[in-house]
């Protein structure tokens, strides 16, 4: 199967002297291997090599330069003894849970609304998706301005007569994660809607007809029949949104820069700061390794379900 | 009928003379509670999505005294592009007051080659993975896809070292290479799935005609791949333009892309913030991806959906 | 007796496109009606209108004497079976059968009773706990029928229910549907593009084209006395042999000048003078060799191609310039190049007006 596409020269080789294993590995299908060289280099050097390098040096006491000696789990012990890291992790979990739930729920609701044979469907779709085309920096800066306590929405509504209106989330350590959430949902829910809508439209129309004949109300059909049928789309959305959340960085930099204080710090920012301005590479690498671990924990069950399951079904 | 079903029983009783005369389409009132709920929800959500765009534009067209009046809903009294001009030519990041223009050109210089190179490499990868499989090619691909989910922070430091060793750290080349590397998983997936959907007989027929790897690629596969190229182009142009992390790490101060300069103008400016200039700079940075989005329309949707749906 | 389903002056437009036009159809209680036609002829559309899944533009629909024109599908007293089965994939067979009843708030023991009865009739008791993904195509189709069965309704609608199955299974299930109809005796309206299904199952067939019913009659009449050229050409495989020519008095003269006497043909409308006409003869009504004795028309021809089909043999030849096929017993020894005598009785054929395409 794997060599299905190389029958022409492969056949010739078996009749003549069979070349050595090394020669075959190098020269069989040579143009394809040369063409795929950038991919192989990327995989070996970046995705495998750099990952191993990062994990390895996270166990050293590298400070300004990665030349330190092996210190076991010292960096990790320090990491979890640092309040800034712990705040970052707590923030990520809180933000991540809220973001995941709201993105999926809002995305699904929007997709259902769009799916109701409405007028101006493409206009509504365009409006919902355009934020996804913008960068997190633009997103963060616009919302920073809207939520600006002195001249933004809060002041505007107060000036319009709603004098005790309060919307200072961006400057309020307790509420700043919700500020982040508003901006994040603005950016990403349209994308989730597109995914969900594709899932909804993929449901066999005869299922809807059968449900109508059975007299099942529309909402019940969505909840009991269509939603469970969209498992594949839901899982895909979950993985994409989840891995996006772990990466959360640009938006925080633009919207709050981790503030007020350290109340909106996230791991990606912690790692970045230690690597490039904190002068403590070991700490940064240990943080990065923890991020990697998180993604592996998200990915492995998914990969098992998607690909492990497929093998059994066929 | 004698054996009326219990399910339909109730409504059968309700069948009045009026219903007996029913003819033609079901009467449909123009306003039903259902429709009212659907459209009001859609309008409320639309306002949430459109509000920032409105605020961004109107603020950028106002003067500072007008902004200090404190009404972000209001339309500009005397709309003018002064803030846009200042944002483009003379807004300051620290002591450097060159505006966004250099960042724009840096972004252009990064986006164009990165897009072309990454798409070309990915197209060749996808083609090789489908039509010229070799031992291990699928393993490379699997790692590539898995790698696309790993946070960039994991690779950043070692890649900085490699770039420094190669002597390209802090140059445009470094950013371009990094974009090519991290665009590879999704684009390769895209092209691989696309080539897999083309009829294999075409490839086999070309093989029988004696065409080789590159000839088949350029003369058979590429001419049939226009749709997927458009999707990849949209994905890459918006993705690379919007990047912040790679620009800030690899480009070096002189080569900062537009997003980095924008963030510096807004977040590390000295003195009183000029919100109209900030918003003008934000609009300017958002214009390119917005233009791509509105011009490409359905293709963008196809792009993000294709990016999400795995083979 | 009151008609079970009655469609009066039904029209359906999608914008300016007329899909169904002023269609009338009366279906008796317990009748098995097949709507037959090529794709796009409006047969599925008509079925969806009867089910209430499509809103009609004009006309009325009565089911069991009740005007259901404005009623929701669930209130019309119908059950429907779909081509793709449309089973709810994440529910067990038992849940699939009972879901509609439970949503309607039916008592639990009544639900169980109905599911048990349907399962017994369709012999799917062992499958009740399985999910649709673990069923074969035939089993799925049976569950889909079961879902219509538990609704305990008078009218069953089938929308190409066997099209997704392979040939062997299709003929098995065809017999089962027929058996089911004999046992339940409800009205069944069945849409298909497969003429064998139509001919074997139907009490009456409605042949449709462009949203209009061309002919509504029992299978024997449809096959042997098609009302127009379209029905004649659509039914039968291989196609009816068609000779174009002129009809005057009691002789038919083909374009090549071959004279076929048609005294034996029973005209619906007596022919007057000389008219352009088409004479159609089914391949199996052409006889060979000794059997031609006494036939009103015989001719010597040379065999061009022979196709042995197993049960019988198809032969291709020409009468004048007109290519024709005929069917003969598989034991008859004929081969390409053989010269044989063939003949037929126009009484078993059909004559159509070339102008109106209607049967004469």
Which pLDDT band, with edges at 50, 70 and 90, does A5 fall under? very low
C90-124: pLDDT as tens digits? 999 999 999 999 999 999 999 999 999 999 999 99
Higher pLDDT, A311 or A79: A79
∠ CA B66-B72-B76, rounded to 5°: 50
What tokens does A204 get? Answer: 């066999």
Q: Are B4 and C77 within 8 A, CB to CB?
A: yes
- What's the average model confidence in pLDDT over C166-187? 90
Whether B14 maps to a domain, the answer reads no
Whether B117 and B247 share a structural domain: yes
Does C24 lie at the interface with B, CB-CB under 8 angstroms?
A: no
Range of the domain at B69: 33-80
| Cis before A82? omega within 30 | no
Does A136 lie at the interface with B, CB-CB under 8 angstroms?
A: yes
Tell whether the model's pLDDT for residue B17 goes beyond 80: no
The pLDDT of residue B19 = 56
B64 near B242, Cβ under 8 Å? no
- What's the average model confidence in pLDDT over A150-160? 87
C139 near C105, Cβ under 8 Å? no
C212 near C21, Cβ under 8 Å? yes
If one counts every other C-beta atom within 10 angstroms of the C-beta of residue B138, the result is 13
Q: Which residues of chain C does CATH 2.40.50.140 include?
A: 238-353
Please tell me which of the candidates B11, B23, B25 has its beta carbon nearest to residue C55.
B25
Place of tokens 């503030």: A259
The pLDDT of residue B20 = 62
Tell whether the model's pLDDT for residue A201 goes beyond 70: yes
A58 near A75, Cβ under 8 Å? yes
d(CA C166, CA C335): 33
d(CA C189, CA B125): 54
Tell me which chain B residue has its CA closest to the CA of residue C29. Answer: B1
Q: Is B131 helix (H, G, I), strand (E, B) or coil?
A: helix
Whether B190 and B52 share a structural domain: no
Q: Which residues of chain A does CATH 1.10.3720.10 include?
A: 76-313
C222 near C215, Cβ under 8 Å? yes
Residue C190 β-bridge partners: C34, C158
Tell whether the model's pLDDT for residue A66 goes beyond 80: no
Whether B230 and B161 share a structural domain: yes
Whether B264 maps to a domain, the answer reads no
Whether B199 maps to a domain, the answer reads yes
The pLDDT of residue C271 = 67
Contacts of C91 in chain A (CB under 8 A): 225
Whether B38 maps to a domain, the answer reads yes
Place of tokens 């001919």: C199
Whether B296 and B191 share a structural domain: yes
Interface test with C, best of A199, A209, A210 (most C CBs within 10 A): A210
d(CA B61, CA B222): 46
The residues near C183 (Cβ < 8 Å, ≥ 6 apart) are: C121
Contacts of A229 in chain C (CB under 8 A): 89-90
DSSP output for B211-236: --HHHHIIIIIGGG-HHHHHHHHHHH
Q: Are C80 and A210 within 8 A, CB to CB?
A: yes
If one counts every other C-beta atom within 10 angstroms of the C-beta of residue C233, the result is 15
The pLDDT of residue C2 = 67
Q: What is the CATH number of the domain that holds B142?
A: 1.10.3720.10
Query: Percent of chain B scored above 70 by pLDDT?
Result: 91
Q: At what angle do helices A231-247 and A83-114 cross, to 10 degrees?
A: 150
Contacts of B12 in chain C (CB under 8 A): 66, 75, 77
d(CA C196, CA C235): 9
d(CA B53, CA A131): 9
The residues near A221 (Cβ < 8 Å, ≥ 6 apart) are: A208, A211
Does C49 lie at the interface with B, CB-CB under 8 angstroms?
A: no
Whether B132 and B163 share a structural domain: yes
C239 near C233, Cβ under 8 Å? yes
What CATH number does domain A76-313 carry, 3.30.70.20, 1.10.3720.10, 3.90.1150.200, 2.30.30.190? 1.10.3720.10
Q: Are B156 and A272 within 8 A, CB to CB?
A: yes
The pLDDT of residue B25 = 84
**Element holding B44 (H helix, E strand):** helix B33-60
Q: Chain C neighbours among B 226-255 (CB < 8 Å)?
A: none
Q: Chain B neighbours among A 68-97 (CB < 8 Å)?
A: none
Does B304 lie at the interface with A, CB-CB under 8 angstroms?
A: yes
Task: Say which CATH topology domain C238-353 has.
Answer: OB fold (Dihydrolipoamide Acetyltransferase, E2P) (2.40.50)
C56-85: pLDDT as tens digits? 999 999 998 889 998 999 999 899 999 998
Chains with at least 3 CB pairs less than 8 angstroms from chain B: A, C
The pLDDT of residue A300 = 82
Q: Are A48 and B143 within 8 A, CB to CB?
A: yes
A153 near A175, Cβ under 8 Å? no
Domain C3-233: give its CATH architecture. 3-Layer(aba) Sandwich (3.40)
Whether B219 and B300 share a structural domain: yes
B88-104: pLDDT as tens digits? 988 887 777 888 999 99
Q: Is C67 helix (H, G, I), strand (E, B) or coil?
A: strand
Q: Chain C neighbours among B 1-30 (CB < 8 Å)?
A: 1, 3-8, 11-12, 15, 19-27
Whether B196 and B71 share a structural domain: no
Q: Number of A to C CB contacts under 8 A, please give it.
A: 65
C343-352: pLDDT as tens digits? 999 888 999 9
Which pLDDT band, with edges at 50, 70 and 90, does B2 fall under? very low
Whether B251 and B119 share a structural domain: yes
C283 near C325, Cβ under 8 Å? yes
Interface test with C, best of A214, A216, A219 (most C CBs within 10 A): A214
Whether B210 maps to a domain, the answer reads yes
d(CA B122, CA B101): 31
What tokens does C21 get? Answer: 């036009």
Total tally of structural domains belonging to chain B: 2
Contacts of B290 in chain A (CB under 8 A): 130, 133-134
d(CA A209, CA C37): 22
The pLDDT of residue B310 = 41
- Please measure the distance between the N-terminal and C-terminal CA atoms of chain C and give it in whole angstroms: 33
- The whole-angstrom distance between B75's CA and the closest CA on chain A is 13
Does C54 lie at the interface with B, CB-CB under 8 angstroms?
A: no
As separate numbers, helices (DSSP H) first and strands (DSSP E) second, chain C gives 8, 21
Per residue, what are the HEC states of A61-101? CCCCCCCCCECCCHHHHHHCCCHHHHHHHHHHHHHHHHHHH
Rg (CA), chain C: 24
Q: H-type helices in chain C, by residue range?
A: 43-51, 93-103, 108-122, 137-149, 167-184, 195-201, 219-224, 229-234
Tell whether the model's pLDDT for residue B18 goes beyond 70: no
Q: Is C291 helix (H, G, I), strand (E, B) or coil?
A: helix
Which pLDDT band, with edges at 50, 70 and 90, does B137 fall under? confident
Contacts of C104 in chain A (CB under 8 A): 215
Whether B134 and B251 share a structural domain: yes
Does C238 lie at the interface with A, CB-CB under 8 angstroms?
A: no
Whether B187 and B293 share a structural domain: yes
Chains with at least 3 CB pairs less than 8 angstroms from chain A: B, C
Whether B170 maps to a domain, the answer reads yes
d(CA A200, CA A222): 9
Q: What share of chain A is helix, strand, coil (3-state, %, to 5)?
A: 75, 0, 25
Q: Which residues of chain C does CATH 3.40.50.300 include?
A: 3-233
B248 near B106, Cβ under 8 Å? no
Whether B123 and B160 share a structural domain: yes
Q: Chain A neighbours among C 48-77 (CB < 8 Å)?
A: 48, 51-53, 72-75
Q: Is B270 helix (H, G, I), strand (E, B) or coil?
A: coil
d(CA A29, CA A101): 48
């Amino acid at each position: 199967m794997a060599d299905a596409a190389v029958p022409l020269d492969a056949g010739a080789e078996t009749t003549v002297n069979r070349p050595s294993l090394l020669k075959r590995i190098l020269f069989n299908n040579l143009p394809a291997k040369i063409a795929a060289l950038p991919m192989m280099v990327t995989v070996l050097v970046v995705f495998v090599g750099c990952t191993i390098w990062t994990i390895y040096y996270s166990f050293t006491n590298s400070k300004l330069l990665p030349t330190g000696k092996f210190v076991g789990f010292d960096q990790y012990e320090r990491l979890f003894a640092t309040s800034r890291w712990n705040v970052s992790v707590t923030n990520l979990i809180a933000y991540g849970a809220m973001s995941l739930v709201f993105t999926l729920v809002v995305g699904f609701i929007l997709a259902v609304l769009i799916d109701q044979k409405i007028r101006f469907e493409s206009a509504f779709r365009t409006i919902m998706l355009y934020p996804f085309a913008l960068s997190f920096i633009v997103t963060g800066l616009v919302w920073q301005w809207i939520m600006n306590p002195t001249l933004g929405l809060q002041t505007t509504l107060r000036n319009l007569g709603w004098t005790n209106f309060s919307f200072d989330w961006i400057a309020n350590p307790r509420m700043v994660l919700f500020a982040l959430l508003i901006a994040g949902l603005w950016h990403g829910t349209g994308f989730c809607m597109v995914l969900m809508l594709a899932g909804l439209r993929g449901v066999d129309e005869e299922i809807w007809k059968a449900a109508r004949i059975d007299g099942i109300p529309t909402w019940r059909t969505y909840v009991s029949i269509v939603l469970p049928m969209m498992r594949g789309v839901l899982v895909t959305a979950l993985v994409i949104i989840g891995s996006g959340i772990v990466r959360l960085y640009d938006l925080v930099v633009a919207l709050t820069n981790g503030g007020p204080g350290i109340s909106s710090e996230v791991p990606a920012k912690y790692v970045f700061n230690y690597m490039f301005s904190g002068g403590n590479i070991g700490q940064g690498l240990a943080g990065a390794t923890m991020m990697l671990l998180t993604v592996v924990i998200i990915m492995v069950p998914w990969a098992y379900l998607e690909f492990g399951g497929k093998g059994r079904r066929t | 009928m004698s054996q009326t079903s219990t399910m339909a029983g109730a409504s059968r009783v309700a069948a009045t003379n009026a219903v007996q005369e029913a003819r033609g389409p079901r009467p449909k009132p123009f306003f039903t509670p259902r429709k009212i709920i659907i459209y009001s929800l859609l309008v409320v959500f639309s306002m949430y999505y459109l509000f920032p765009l409105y605020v961004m534009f109107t603020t950028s067209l106002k003067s500072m005294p007008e902004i200090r009046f404190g009404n972000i809903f209001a339309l500009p009294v005397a709309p003018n592009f002064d803030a846009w001009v200042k944002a483009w030519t003379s807004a300051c990041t620290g002591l450097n007051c060159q505006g966004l223009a250099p960042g724009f050109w840096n972004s252009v210089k990064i986006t164009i080659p990165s897009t072309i190179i990454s798409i070309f490499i990915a197209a060749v990868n996808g083609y090789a993975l489908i039509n010229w499989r070799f031992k291990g090619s699928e393993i490379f691909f699997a790692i590539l896809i898995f790698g696309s989910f790993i946070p960039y922070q994991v690779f950043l430091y070692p890649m900085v070292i490699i770039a420094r060793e190669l002597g390209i750290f802090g140059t445009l080349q470094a950013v371009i290479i990094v974009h090519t590397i991290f665009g590879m998983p999704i684009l390769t997936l895209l092209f691989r799935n696309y080539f897999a959907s083309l009829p294999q007989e075409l490839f086999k027929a070309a093989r029988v005609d004696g065409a080789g790897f590159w000839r088949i690629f350029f003369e058979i596969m590429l001419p049939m791949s226009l749709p997927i190229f458009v999707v990849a182009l949209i994905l890459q142009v918006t993705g690379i333009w919007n990047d912040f992390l790679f620009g800030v790490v690899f480009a070096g101060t002189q080569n900062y892309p537009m997003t980095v300069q924008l963030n510096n103008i807004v977040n590390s400016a000295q003195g009183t913030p000029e919100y109209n200039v900030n918003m003008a700079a934000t609009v300017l940075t958002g214009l390119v991806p917005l233009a791509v989005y509105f011009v490409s329309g359905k293709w963008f949707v196809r792009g993000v959906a294709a990016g999400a749906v795995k083979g | 007796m009151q008609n079970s389903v009655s469609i009066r002056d039904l029209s359906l437009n999608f914008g300016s496109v007329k899909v169904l036009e002023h269609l009338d159809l009366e279906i008796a209680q317990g009748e098995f009606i097949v709507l037959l036609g090529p794709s796009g002829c409006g047969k599925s559309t008509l079925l969806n209108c009867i089910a209430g899944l499509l809103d009609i533009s004009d006309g009325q629909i009565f089911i069991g004497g009740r005007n259901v024109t404005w009623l929701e599908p669930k209130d019309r007293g119908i059950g429907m079976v779909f081509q793709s089965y449309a089973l709810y994939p994440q529910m067990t067979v038992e849940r699939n059968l009972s879901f509609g009843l439970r949503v309607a708030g039916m008592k639990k023991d009544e639900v169980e009773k109905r599911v048990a009865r349907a399962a017994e009739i369709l012999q799917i008791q062992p499958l009740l706990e399985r999910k649709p993904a673990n069923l074969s195509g035939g089993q799925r189709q049976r569950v889909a029928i079961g879902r219509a069965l538990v609704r305990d309704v008078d009218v069953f609608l089938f929308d190409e229910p066997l099209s997704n199955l392979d040939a062997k299974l299709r003929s098995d299930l065809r017999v089962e549907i027929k058996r089911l109809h004999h046992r339940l005796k409800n009205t069944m309206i069945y849409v298909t593009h497969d003429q064998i299904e139509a001919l074997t199952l139907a009490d009456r067939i409605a042949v449709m084209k462009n949203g209009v019913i061309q002919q509504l009659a029992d299978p024997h009449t449809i096959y042997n006395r098609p009302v127009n050229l379209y029905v004649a050409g659509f039914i039968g495989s291989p196609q009816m042999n068609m000779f174009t020519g002129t009809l005057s008095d009691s002789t038919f003269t083909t374009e090549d000048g071959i004279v076929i006497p048609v005294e034996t043909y029973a005209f619906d409308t007596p022919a007057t003078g000389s008219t352009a006409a088409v004479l159609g003869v089914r391949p199996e009504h052409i006889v060979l060799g000794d059997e031609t004795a006494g036939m009103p028309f015989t001719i010597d021809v040379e065999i061009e191609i022979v196709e042995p089909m197993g049960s019988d043999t198809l032969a291709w030849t020409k009468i004048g310039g007109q290519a024709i096929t005929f069917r003969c017993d598989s034991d008859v020894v004929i081969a390409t190049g053989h010269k044989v005598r063939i003949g037929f009785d126009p009484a078993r054929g059909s004559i159509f007006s070339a102008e109106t395409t209607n049967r004469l």
